[in-house]
Structure 1
Amino acid sequence: MDEEQILRELRFKAVRSSGAGGQHVNKTSSKVELHFDVKNSAGIKDEVKTRVIKKLQSRLTKENILILGSEESRSQHRNKELVVQRFFKILKIASVKPKLRKKTKPTKASKIKRLKKKKINAERKANRKDPLR
């Protein structure tokens, strides 16, 4: 994963923040939206792309574009820094290769324990029945 290449591919858009804030909110565009085209990125290898697309499927648009926004700060520059940090954090988590599951068999002791428990439970239920039947 080439972070410098990915940084060049990021597109930013400044928009007005929502919510309360008085006059300042109505005249400044402090919210920052980050747009990243996962499918056409040259900074990510193909095998990682498929993994990222699969894991972030709910966050992607139909064109496989990831959109993240930040409006935590009143400063546009600070929001840009925050959204880039969050983007790389999400990208690193999504690109991690999952560990393969190792098939295991139950031990002999665990099988015996399960069968004993099953027998006790069956006896308990049998004792509930009417003795005349």
Structure 2
Amino acid sequence: MKVGDLLIDESEIVESFVRSSGPGGQNVNKVASAVELRFDARGSPSLPNDVAVRLIKLAGARATQDGVIIIFAQKFASQPRNRQDARARLAALLTKAQERAKPRLATRPTLASRARRLDEKTRRGAVKALRRTTTGAD
């Protein structure tokens, strides 16, 4: 399976087929059309470590504590289409995991923005001062 720059061996992807609760009519009780795809991201020799870490983070609840990504596909009534859907979802996750986050460059606020902020603080303070009730001389 080729995803971007990565080439993942088919033996790393484990698929099991179970009965689906989705569409299918009477057939749904007889045929195992849903696909449960498992991919061991942490133990995969095809993935660089940084991509594996990002993939597990992106997978969220679909990842086990051991770093295995589990994708369950039951959208379609046929097994081949569910299999294709599960593989496409894994490919989308892998594509997104390959993107490195752009490092944030620290910047300083401009002189004008600092002046605007201080002016606004002064203005707000003046408004609040007007709201205060004066006690004493009546």
- What residue is the counterpart of 2:124 in the other structure? 121
**C-alpha distance in 1 between matches for 2:74 and 2:41:** 23
**Stretches of structure 1 lacking an aligned partner (at least 5 in a row):** none
Matched, 1:47 2:59: no
Structure 1 contact 56–94 (Cα < 8 Å) conserved: no
Moved more, 26-35 or 13-22: 13-22
Q: 1:85 aligns with which of 64, 83, 88?
A: 88
**What are the Cα deviations for residues 6-58 of structure 1, in whole angstroms up to 9, with x where unaligned?**
x3310110100015643210000110110101111111112222222333343
Q: 1:3 aligns with which of 3, 7, 17?
A: 7
Change (3 A) 1:20 1:48: closer
Q: 2:72 aligns with which of 57, 69, 72?
A: 69
**C-alpha distance in 1 between matches for 2:58 and 2:75:** 25
Structure 1 contact 15–32 (Cα < 8 Å) conserved: yes
**What are the Cα deviations for residues 76-101 of structure 1, in whole angstroms up to 9, with x where unaligned?**
11111111011110121123211111
Deviant stretches of 4+, over 4 Å: none
SS state of the match for residue 132, structure 1?
coil
Change (3 A) 1:70 1:20: closer
Give the TM-score normalised by structure 1. Answer: 0.89
Q: 1:106 aligns with which of 106, 109, 116?
A: 109
Q: Percent identity?
A: 35
**Stretches of structure 2 lacking an aligned partner (at least 5 in a row):** none
Change (3 A) 1:45 1:69: same
Tell me the C-alpha RMSD between the 2 structures: 1.7
Change (3 A) 1:22 1:56: closer
SS state of the match for residue 127, structure 1?
helix
